Structure 1
Amino acid sequence: MRTVSTSSQRGFTLIEIMVVVVIIGVLGAIVVPQFMSRPDQAKVTAARTDIQAIATALEMYRLDTFSYPSTQQGLEALSKRPAGGPAAKNWNPQGYLKSLPLDPWGMPYQYLNLGTRSTGYDLLSFGSDGMPGGEGYAADIGNWGD
C-alpha cells in the first residue's frame, strides 16, 4: 500500500522577505542617526557609571580598612594590596575591583584623598580633552555630581 505524504511546506516569498528588509532599512535610517549623534553624551554617561562603581568599591574598602586609600596608594589599592600608610589591616584578599577601568577616553580616573571632606575623596575623569576644567563634553566628571 502506498502512502502519500501530505505535508505542505510553506516558506516566505521573495516579496515578503523584501518587505521585511525594507522595513528594517527604514527603521535603521530613522533610529541609527539618533544614537550616532550622541557618542559624546554616551561617553559622559559611561564615565558617571564607572565613577559610581569605583565609589562603591572605595566605600567597601573603607568599611574593611577604616579609611580610604591615601592619594599615594591611589585607586590601585582597590585591586592590589596597598603598601604604605594608612595600613590596610583588613584588606579583602580578593580585592574590591578586578582591574581599574580607564575612562571612556582611554585615560585613568583621578583620585585624591581629601581626608576632611564629607566624602573623603575626589574621584574624577578629566573628560574628552584629558585636561582639568573644560566645558561641555570636555568638562570634568566627578563624584561630587553635576
Structure 2
Amino acid sequence: MNRKTRSSRPINGFTLIELMVVIVIIGILTTVVVINVLPNVDKAAITRARADIAALETALISYKADTMVFPSSQQGLAALKAAPVDLGNPDRYRPGGYLTRLPDDPWGHPYQYASPGRPDRGGGGGAFDVWSMGPDGNSAAGGEADDIGNWNL
C-alpha cells in the first residue's frame, strides 16, 4: 500500500502570539501619537479663531473708514459682505464689500458681533466686540469661559 505522507514543507503564516505582539505595538504607537497630536489640534483651532477675529477687525475698521460708522449689532457682520439696506451713505460702501465670505469659527459656529462692545469684557467696552463662542458654542452666563474675542487677542 502506498500511503501518502505529509510533505516536510514548512507551513507559512503567523502564529497567534506573533499577531498579538504586532497588534500591541500598533496600539502603543497609536496611543503615543494621539497623546502628542490632540492638544495641538485645540491650539490650532484657537490660533485660527484669533486670526479670523483679527481679519474681521480689519474689515470692520475699513468699513468704518469708508462709511464713518461701525455696523450696528442688528446689521451684524453680514454688513461686511453686502451693504445693509439701512446704511446712511450707501454710495460710500466699498463695491464688492469688505469680505468675500463670512467664516465660521473652528467649531462650526458663526462669529458673534456687538456694537458697542461690552464694558465688562477685558477690552473695556470698545467700539465693538467680535468673538467666537468657543468649543462649547455658548456665550450665555457661565458659558463665556472659553470664548475667544478681540478683547483677549
Length-normalised TM-score, structure 1: 0.69
Residue of structure 2 equivalent to 1:13? none
SS at structure 2 position matched to 1:124: strand
Give per-residue Cα distances to partners, 1:5-33, cap 9 Å, x unaligned: xxxxxxxxxxxxxxxxxxxxxxx988886
Matches for 1:4-83 after TM superposition, within 5 Å: 34-83=36-85
Q: Post-superposition shift, 1:34?
A: 3.3
Counterpart-to-counterpart distance in 2, 1:73 and 1:100 = 14
SS at structure 2 position matched to 1:71: coil
Give the count of matched residue pairs.
116
Structure 2 residue 108 is the aligned partner of structure 1 residue 106: yes
- Alignment match of 2:98 (pick from 92, 96, 114): 96
Give per-residue Cα distances to partners, 1:31-82, cap 9 Å, x unaligned: 8863343211211111000000000000000000001001111100101111
Counterpart-to-counterpart distance in 2, 1:40 and 1:88 = 41
Gaps of 5+ in 2: 1-28, 119-123
SS at structure 2 position matched to 1:58: helix
Whether the 8 Å CA contact 1:69–1:86 is kept in 2: the answer is no
Counterpart of 1:140 in structure 2: which amino acid? D
Q: Percent identity?
A: 44
Counterpart-to-counterpart distance in 2, 1:88 and 1:32 = 52
Length-normalised TM-score, structure 2: 0.66
Whether the 8 Å CA contact 1:67–1:86 is kept in 2: the answer is no
Residue of structure 2 equivalent to 1:126? 133
Root mean square deviation of aligned Cα: 2.6
Counterpart-to-counterpart distance in 2, 1:65 and 1:105 = 32
Larger Rg: 2
Give per-residue Cα distances to partners, 1:85-136, cap 9 Å, x unaligned: 544441001110001000000000000011797631111011000001344x
